[in-house]
Amino acid sequence: MSDKISKEIRSLVTNDGNIELSIKTAEIPTPGADEVLIKVEAAPINPSDLGLLLSFAADISSISTSGSGDETTTTMKIHPALMNAMKPRLDQSMQVGNEGAGVVVDAGENAKELIGKTVGLAGGAMYSQYRCVPAASCLVMDEGTLPSEAASSFVNPLTALSFIETMKMENHTALVHTAAAS
């Protein structure tokens, strides 16, 4: 499948103080022996995704676009006082999306049994059409589970589990959590 092209959402902080969001093309890799190729069909937007996608430093009021279709780039200025905090990201086009789900469409020799299965996955770069990952990193769903039902299999459940663990360790008897604040 390496002759096919995938599209993915990227976030780039530029030296001139902007953050750019764009859709880039990438070659679809051939899975290694213990890997699977997933056609991503669903990926949620978590607050942690927005942190990488837009960053805390983006000035949303400065939003502009250039190009058209898949060649569109969305640009926002970064607040000058916050630019120093963005230095580690300078000129690095970063893939976005912490978790998602899809169907395994190809697999290496040790993972062929997963072809056709719906899987959930965490590991980044899920705002992509295809992801090639170690088979062991996939959470295989029951037959009939839709990717849209499996897409949030990691961030929110692990957040809930960490709440319970923290409550136990710190002897809390109640928990208050705001809606949609995963």
Residue 177 lies in a domain: no
Residue 175 lies in a domain: no
Q: How many domains does the chain have?
A: 1
Would you give the DSSP letter of residue 124? S
State the chain's mean pLDDT as an integer: 93
Instruction: Determine the pLDDT at residue 180.
Output: 64
Instruction: Determine the pLDDT at residue 58.
Output: 92
CB 97 within 8 A of CB 104: no
Calculate the CA 92 to chain-centre distance. Answer: 16
Residue 80 lies in a domain: yes
Residue 179 lies in a domain: no
Residue 180 lies in a domain: no
Name the residue range of residue 86's domain. Answer: 6-169
Residue 123 lies in a domain: yes
Strands (E), 28-164: 35-42, 58-66, 73-78, 94-95, 99-107, 118-122, 130-134, 138-140
Instruction: Determine the pLDDT at residue 21.
Output: 97
pLDDT in tens, 36-94: 999 999 999 988 899 899 888 999 999 999 999 889 999 999 999 999 999 999 999 99
Residue 182 lies in a domain: no
Instruction: Determine the pLDDT at residue 112.
Output: 99
Find the range with the poorest average confidence among 48-57, 101-110, 143-152: 48-57
Instruction: Determine the pLDDT at residue 1.
Output: 46
Residue 11 lies in a domain: yes
CATH code of the domain in which 15 resides: 3.90.180.10
pTM score: 0.86
37 to 81, 119, 128, 167: CA distances (angstroms): 42, 11, 12, 38
**Rounded distance between C-alpha atoms, residue 158 and residue 160, angstroms:** 5
Instruction: Determine the pLDDT at residue 2.
Output: 46
CA nearest to 35, candidates 110, 94, 95, 100: 110
